[in-house]
């Protein structure tokens, strides 16, 4: 199939997926308007899926390097895995226990699941067509060969047989199914094979069926030795090896068929906070259950006989709608290893060096504390380095005048430089307090190890507030300077993780402002102690003041516009789902406020509705870096208020988490506005949301120069 034909099919698939989203008819008379009417809201889960579809579209964008296009294709799989593990699992749980709830769109779980199935079926089929008909052929042309069994040479077969016997047989455990060997409990998202057998084993048993779980310790892609191959990089799938050598696992029996399958399970963790007396101990007990939650999806090789598919459906208690038959490997996410196996930098993004402001460069004559006393600093990652944040903490750990450090950790590695600095500070006798959010989804186990390491070093470790995730990104350093204690702070929109700081766009704000330091101190007091809400001078924090302040500022812009002044709002977040904020935006639009929303993922708001949201535009930027900054801009008739924050405009962030929003004034606020304008001018990686819930890729108009916000930021800051 030609690439042009496949792209045409992709465009048609997008149209079909748009058509199955709820649509809204525009009445001629728009007054009076009930802003709670369900037709004014897009379903959260379907909007989430549309983001994944936009990620998949990147695999067809020839402006991206070939291996990066492959990564987008595989990220689609990874995103879809989590979507089924959490979002689909929650819809199924509601149906199972008769506890159906609806959002502002008034769609019940049964209908939502039907729409999810339609969208997923369309786009999973597309994904495998892109892989088989575009990705594999193009990689073949570029010297990256995925060797199928039909083309293995005798020498390669001999090497593969030896590899199988030496590396695979010792760790693999085939399971014949009979009354003494019931169907095994298979781990979430693991690769497995169902095998049809003929003959009797050593005990005279005729089982007919067996299961081969592929050990997770084994790589899913293996590189063949160069001396056995033609030029280029030659790779084979673990599944091909198991298919080829399955007979050796069942001596004396005939393998009639061997077929891949993979089960996705409910991976959400639930807690009864009233019964909990130790969060860490409870979490350790729950982590094991994540691997064996209720099945929510079955992926099978599309060549699997129907009777085997039926057998698997019954074993996992699944309906036909939960089965996805695919034309290729069922565990595509593990294909990400290809980048490291082939090392083809010419097929990846060009490398760059993140910039560092001169006043924060790690040089002998640079004192970070003095630099921050002179001026606040704002870094935008990954275009600017995360290193100054790490360096500041490492300097604080060694500085004899630093007496205390307080830090929140949400997602980080227990061997990171941040953690090493905290350990060193505690061991040197400083008072180190760390608030670790153990329930950072899929990082819980890592965070438990992290907590243990910090406690062993002498840090005071707490787990925030039961019932409220600590999502705030804050660091506080207390330093004795003469007779005074000076506070130095870092506040961010992202995590204290050097790896994600190279992949996600985020802001880091470094300051020695007295009032912000006092506010951050009070936030830590709320997290580690008990007491009434403390009034903050410059920061706004969830779940106490951030939500109300944002509503207040939206309403201020509406009043300005209604009085003939200029009302302007720009919001850049990862998700917009909170109904009260959406209604406030609708009201502001009706008052004449210009509202420009840059929402990476979920968005329940419908822009462009006559008389309701015609002054609102929504765009989503998908590019080389994952957009993660949270910025709120309120024009205030020429005297703007600009905030960065850890919080998206979602119910969980505003009402059920600990979050911080911090103001940026003067030149820093002006700089952030300039960078927001880059995103609003983007006409190469920007997708515009329509009122019906569909997205359209914006392209440069005739005579207009293509413009990429991310590329411009690289030019501004990196080298």
Going by the DSSP 8-state scheme, the letter that residue 214 receives in this structure is P
Cα-Cα-Cα-Cα dihedral of 292, 294, 297, 299, to 10°? Answer: 40
| Paired residues of 507 in beta bridges | 380
| Paired residues of 504 in beta bridges | 626
Residue 679 contacts residue 570 (beta carbons within 8 Å):
no
N residues, the chain:
719
Rounded to whole angstroms, the Cα distance separating 286 from 326 reads 32
Alpha helices (runs of H) in 250-303, residue ranges in sequence order: 279-290
Which residues are CB-neighbours of 158 under 8 A, at least 6 positions away?
none
End-to-end CA distance of the chain: 41
Residue 471 contacts residue 464 (beta carbons within 8 Å):
no
Q: SS3 for 648?
A: coil
β-bridge pairing 568-573 and 631-634: antiparallel
Q: Which residues are annotated as a binding site?
A: 79, 411, 441, 504, 600, 628
- Nearest partner of 477 among 389, 415, 539, 536, judged by Cα: 389
Rounded to whole angstroms, the Cα distance separating 631 from 644 reads 5
Any idea what the Cα angle at residue 501 is, between residues 499 and 507, rounded to 5°?
Answer: 165
Q: Which residues are annotated as a binding site for Mg(2+)?
A: 411, 441
Q: SS3 for 435?
A: strand
Phi-psi region of 118 (alpha: psi -120 to 50; beta: other; left: phi over 0): alpha
| Paired residues of 617 in beta bridges | 596
Alpha helices (runs of H) in 343-443, residue ranges in sequence order: 368-374, 387-398, 417-427
Any idea what the Cα angle at residue 22 is, between residues 652 and 686, rounded to 5°?
Answer: 70
Rounded to whole angstroms, the Cα distance separating 251 from 248 reads 6
SS3 content of the chain, % helix, strand, coil (to 5): 40, 20, 35
C-alpha pair distances (Å), 57 with each of 42, 46, 346, 632: 21, 17, 22, 28
Instruction: Give yes or no: 547 in active site.
Output: no
Q: Which residues are annotated as a binding site for ATP?
A: 79, 504, 600, 628
Which residues are CB-neighbours of 463 under 8 A, at least 6 positions away?
279, 280, 435, 436, 437, 438, 451, 470
Of 48, 64, 381, 471, which one is the catalytic site residue?
Answer: 471
Residue 567 contacts residue 643 (beta carbons within 8 Å):
no
- Nearest partner of 246 among 200, 192, 298, judged by Cα: 192
Q: CB burial class (10 A; 0-12, 13-18, 19+) of residue 292? A: middle
Cα 8 from chain centroid (whole Å): 29
- Nearest partner of 645 among 522, 491, 465, 495, judged by Cα: 491
Catalytic positions, please?
471
């Amino acid at each position: 199939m030609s690439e042009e034909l496949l792209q045409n099919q992709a465009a048609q698939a997008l149209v079909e997926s748009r058509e199955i989203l709820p649509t809204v008819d525009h009445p001629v008379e728009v007054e009076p308007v009930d802003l709670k009417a369900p037709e004014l809201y897009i379903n959260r889960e379907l909007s989430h899926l549309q983001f994944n579809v936009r990620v998949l579209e990147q695999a067809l964008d020839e402006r991206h390097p070939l291996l990066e296009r492959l990564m987008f294709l595989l990220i689609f799989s990874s995103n879809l895995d989590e979507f089924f593990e959490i979002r689909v699992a929650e819809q199924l749980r509601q149906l199972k226990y008769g506890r159906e709830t609806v959002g502002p769109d008034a769609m019940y779980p049964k209908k939502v699941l039907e729409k999810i199935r339609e969208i997923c079926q369309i786009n999973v089929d597309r994904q495998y067509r892109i892989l088989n008909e575009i990705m594999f052929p193009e990689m073949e042309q570029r010297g990256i060969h995925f060797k199928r069994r039909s083309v293995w040479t005798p020498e390669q077969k001999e090497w593969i047989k030896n590899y199988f016997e030496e590396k695979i047989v010792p760790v693999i455990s085939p399971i014949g199914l009979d009354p003494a060997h019931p169907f095994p409990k298979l781990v979430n998202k693991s690769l497995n094979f169902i095998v049809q057998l003929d003959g009797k084993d050593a005990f005279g048993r005729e089982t007919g069926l067996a299961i081969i779980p592929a050990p997770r310790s084994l790589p899913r892609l293996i590189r063949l030795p160069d001396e056995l191959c033609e030029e280029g990089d030659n790779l084979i799938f673990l599944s091909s090896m198991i298919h080829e050598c399955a007979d050796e696992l069942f001596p004396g029996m005939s393998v009639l068929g061997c077929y891949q399958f993979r089960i996705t399970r409910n991976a959400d963790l639930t807690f009864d906070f009233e019964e909990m007396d130790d969060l860490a101990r409870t979490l350790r007990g729950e982590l094991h259950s994540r691997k064996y939650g209720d099945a929510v999806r079955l992926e099978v090789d599309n060549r699997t006989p129907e009777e085997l598919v039926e057998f698997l459906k019954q074993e996992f208690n699944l309906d036909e709608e939960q089965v996805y038959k695919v034309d290729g490997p069922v565990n595509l996410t593990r294909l990400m290893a290809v980048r490291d196996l082939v090392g083809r930098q010419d097929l990846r993004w060009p490398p760059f060096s993140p910039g560092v402001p001169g006043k924060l460069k790690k040089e002998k004559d640079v004192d970070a504390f003095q630099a921050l006393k002179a001026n606040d600093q704002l870094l935008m990652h990954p275009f600017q380095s995360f290193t100054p944040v790490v360096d500041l903490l490492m300097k604080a750990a060694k500085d004899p005048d630093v007496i205390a450090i307080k830090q929140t950790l949400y997602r980080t590695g227990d061997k990171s430089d941040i953690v090493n600095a905290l350990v060193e500070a505690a061991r040197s006798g400083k008072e180190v307090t760390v608030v670790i959010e153990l329930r950072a989804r899929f990082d819980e186990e890592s965070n438990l190890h992290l907590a243990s390491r910090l406690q062993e070093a002498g840090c005071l470790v707490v787990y925030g507030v039961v019932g409220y995730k600590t999502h705030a990104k804050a660091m506080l350093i207390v330093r004795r300077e003469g007779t005074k204690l000076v506070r130095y702070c870092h506040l961010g929109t992202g995590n204290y993780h050097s790896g994600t700081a190279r992949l996600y766009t985020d802001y880091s704000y470094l300051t020695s402002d007295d009032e912000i330091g006092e506010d951050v101190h009070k936030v830590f007091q709320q997290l580690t102690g008990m007491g009434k809400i403390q009034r903050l001078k410059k920061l706004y924090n969830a779940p106490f003041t951030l939500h109300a302040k944002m509503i207040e500022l939206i309403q201020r812009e509406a009043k300005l516009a209604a009085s003939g002044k200029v009302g302007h709002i720009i919001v850049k977040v990862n998700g917009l789902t909170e109904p009260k904020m959406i209604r406030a935006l609708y009201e502001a639009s009706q008052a004449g406020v210009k509202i420009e929303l840059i929402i990476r993922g979920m968005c329940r708001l419908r822009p462009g509705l006559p008389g309701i949201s015609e002054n609102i535009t929504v765009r989503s930027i998908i590019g080389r870096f994952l957009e993660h900054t949270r910025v709120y801009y309120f024009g205030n008739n020429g005297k703007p208020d600009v905030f960065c924050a850890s919080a998206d405009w979602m119910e969980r962030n505003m009402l059920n988490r600990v979050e911080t929003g911090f103001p940026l004034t003067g030149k820093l606020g002006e700089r952030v506005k300039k960078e927001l304008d880059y995103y609003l001018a983007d006409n190469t990686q920007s997708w515009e949301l329509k009122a019906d819930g569909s997205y359209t890729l914006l392209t440069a108009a005739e005579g207009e120069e293509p413009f990429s916000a991310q590329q411009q930021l690289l030019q501004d800051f990196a080298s």
